[in-house]
């Protein structure tokens, strides 16, 4: 999951090497072709599990629609608000959206550990966002940043939805490659009209074409294959929280390669994101795991201490009560 997040963190910086290509084209070529490649890699499994996918077609369609909307909102957010802010808002608020979905739909309770990690990560992403937003002084840029933040929230919601959809398919014993291939392949088909309408600049130069090919092959195809493997082992809320590494990587690359300036509050935000990942990924001691999953001790009371055997009078009372 962390490896996928590192790959995704390169997308905003890669997009800056194709300045003549609009955000809709970048999103469509990245997620559209990347999704179709995933479907192609999973073609044999898609055929074998077609009947299972039809049983859960509502989940597949929800995930595919979210896949189609996400890149258009995400890259437009980065285009309007900057690489760091667009990535921070889109990815930084996704864990909250994902946790809300799991709580409402699945009834999943949030652990203290997740809440602590998510709080650190959210605070870090807010600091990163503030650091970048305060760097824009003129009113026009502020209006663009505000619109970019709004689109980032849309991207966060759709990211959470397709993560939840894929995880739900996997929990219904559909292999991760099949689940990801179906959701992202159908999402890629939905993005093809957008690519045909906006993708002409990708063919204007070799650098533009190289950016499109890189985005589709590496962050989107390879990255989401890794993401699918991760979803087979962790819930969607944990997956989206781990992906908070992406805005930190994006911010670092924006500073080192693109030349964006990151003040002290931004570096503090990156440190908090790293702390969030440390809290979430530190292994739980085996003794704590056993205590967490162990049930009551047979014959024990609330504290696990042995209880005295019931007397014959108590047994008789219990039998009479049962008969009544």
Structure tokens at 116: 């602590």
The residue-averaged pLDDT of 122-146 equals 67
Pairwise CA distance, residues 55 & 51, whole Å? 6
Confidence of residue 309 (pLDDT cuts 50, 70, 90): very low
Mean pLDDT value across residues 173-202: 93
Spatial separation of the C-alpha atoms in residues 126 and 276, rounded to whole Å: 13
Q: Could you give the CA distance from residue 1 to residue 23 in angstroms, rounded to a whole number?
A: 25
Average the pLDDT over each of 132-136, 198-202, 292-296 and give the range with the smallest value: 292-296
Listed residue (221, 218, 157) closest to 184, CA to CA: 221
* Per-residue pLDDT at 288: 53
Question: What is the pLDDT at residue 37?
Answer: 93
Q: What is the structure's pLDDT at 290?
A: 52
Measured distance CA(212)–CA(15) in Å, rounded: 8
Please give the Cα distance from 30 to 78 (Å, whole number): 14
Q: Is 229 exposed, middle or buried (0-12, 13-18, 19+ CB in 10 A)?
A: middle
Q: What is the pLDDT of residues 203-231, one digit of tens each?
A: 989 999 999 999 999 999 999 889 888 88
Please check the confidence at residue 301 and state whether its pLDDT lies above 50: no
> Helix, strand, or coil here: 243?
coil
- Looking at residue 104, what DSSP letter applies? I
pLDDT digits (tens, 9 = 90+) for 239-297: 888 887 887 787 788 778 877 777 788 788 878 888 887 787 776 665 555 555 444 44
Helices 83-92 and 112-133: crossing angle in degrees, nearest 10, is 160
Query: What are the residue ranges of helices labelled H in 172-255?
Result: 176-198, 206-215, 223-231, 236-242, 245-253
User: What span, in angstroms and rounded, lies between the C-alpha atoms of 314 and 272?
Assistant: 59
- Better-predicted residue by pLDDT, 179 or 144: 179
- For 81-106, write each residue's pLDDT tens digit: 776 677 777 877 788 788 888 888 87
φ, ψ at 18 (rounded to 5°): -130, 65
Cβ–Cβ < 8 Å for 98, 164: yes
Q: What share of the chain is helix, strand, coil (3-state, %, to 5)?
A: 80, 0, 20
Give 25-63 pLDDT, tens digit per residue.
999 999 999 999 999 999 998 988 999 999 999 999 999
Residue 297's pLDDT is what? 42
């Amino acid at each position: 999951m962390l490896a996928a997040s590192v790959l995704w963190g390169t997308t905003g910086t890669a997009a800056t090497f194709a300045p003549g290509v609009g955000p809709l084209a970048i999103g469509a070529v990245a997620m559209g072709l990347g999704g179709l490649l995933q479907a192609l890699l999973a073609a044999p499994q898609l055929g074998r599990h077609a009947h299972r996918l039809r049983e859960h077609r509502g989940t597949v369609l929800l995930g595919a629609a979210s896949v189609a909307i996400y890149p258009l909102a995400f890259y437009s957010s980065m285009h309007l608000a900057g690489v760091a802010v667009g990535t921070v808002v889109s990815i930084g608020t996704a864990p909250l959206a994902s946790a809300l979905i799991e709580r409402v739909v699945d009834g999943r309770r949030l652990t203290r550990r997740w809440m602590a990690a998510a709080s650190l990560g959210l605070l870090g992403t807010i600091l990163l966002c503030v650091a970048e937003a305060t760097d824009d002084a003129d009113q026009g840029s502020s209006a663009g940043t505000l619109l970019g933040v709004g689109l980032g929230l849309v991207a966060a919601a759709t990211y959470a939805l397709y993560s939840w959809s894929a995880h739900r398919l996997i929990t219904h014993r559909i292999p991760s490659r099949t689940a990801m291939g179906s959701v992202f392949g159908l999402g890629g088909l939905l993005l093809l009209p957008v690519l045909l309408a906006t993708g002409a600049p990708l063919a204007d130069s070799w650098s533009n074409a190289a950016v499109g090919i890189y985005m589709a092959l590496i962050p989107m195809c390879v990255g989401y294959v890794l993401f699918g493997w991760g979803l087979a082992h962790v819930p969607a809320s944990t997956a989206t929280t781990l992906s908070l590494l992406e805005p930190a990587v994006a911010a670092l690359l924006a500073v080192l390669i693109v030349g964006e300036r990151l003040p002290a509050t931004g570096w503090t935000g990156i440190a908090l994101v790293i702390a969030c990942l440390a809290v979430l990924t530190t292994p739980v001691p085996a003794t704590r795991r056993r205590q967490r999953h162990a049930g009551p001790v047979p014959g024990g009371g609330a504290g696990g201490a042995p209880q005295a055997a019931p007397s014959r009078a108590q047994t008789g009372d219990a039998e009479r009560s049962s008969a009544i």
